[in-house]
Amino acid sequence: MEKKLNNNVHKNTKKQMDNAIAPEQMKALLTKLEDMECTEITCFDITGVFSYADYILIATTRSDVQRKGILDKFPDFLDEVGLEKYTSYCLNKSQLNNTGGWVLIDFKDFIVHLMTEEARNFYEIDKIFFEAKQI
């Protein structure tokens, strides 16, 4: 029985590794956000630190208009960096009503926060990930 259990654990680990997002893909997303004039773009590799995702990407935006533009382009960004399987998780810009300067998009394996400078300074969410490696 124990041998079977260990074998199943190995299979799950291998499956997780096969579906892993490469750090280069996250770096490519960072570049896309830079191209959209986001600032203070940070990406944390939270693998092994938190269990709910592998990466947290945080970017500062100037306005709702800019965030809506980014959301319009995000499916294209995902396709361009080889993460097209995540496009179904994208928000539609019509879902952006009264965001309070912060939009969170949960892609299951990675989470994107688009925040105004005021929201980012107020919530200081970067501090939550102090144990994580920054990429």
Q: Find the CATH number of the domain harbouring 96.
A: 3.30.460.10
Evaluate whether residue 6 is within a structural domain: no
Evaluate whether residue 83 is within a structural domain: yes
**The predicted structure's pLDDT at residue 123:** 93
Evaluate whether residue 10 is within a structural domain: no
Q: Kindly state the average pLDDT of the residues 91-120.
A: 81
**The predicted structure's pLDDT at residue 71:** 86
Evaluate whether residue 82 is within a structural domain: yes
Helix (H) or strand (E) holding 39: strand 39-45
**Residues of the chain with pLDDT > 90: what percent?**
52
Asked whether 57 and 36 are in contact (CB, 8 A), the reply is: no
Asked whether 113 and 57 are in contact (CB, 8 A), the reply is: yes
**The predicted structure's pLDDT at residue 15:** 34
Supply the pTM of this predicted model: 0.80
Confidence of residue 4 (pLDDT cuts 50, 70, 90): very low
Evaluate whether residue 5 is within a structural domain: no
- Give the contacts of 58 (CB within 8 A, at least 6 positions apart): 40, 41, 42, 43, 44, 112, 113, 115, 120, 125, 126
**The predicted structure's pLDDT at residue 134:** 93
**114: pLDDT strictly greater than 90:** yes
Evaluate whether residue 14 is within a structural domain: no
Gyration radius of the chain's alpha carbons = 16
Evaluate whether residue 15 is within a structural domain: no
Evaluate whether residue 34 is within a structural domain: yes
**The predicted structure's pLDDT at residue 89:** 76
The string of DSSP letters for 64-90 reads HHHHHHHHHHHHHHHHHTT-GGGGGGP
- Give pLDDT tens digits for 18-70: 458 899 999 999 999 999 999 999 999 999 899 999 999 999 999 888 988 88
Domain count, the chain: 1
- Which domain, by its residues, includes 63? 21-134
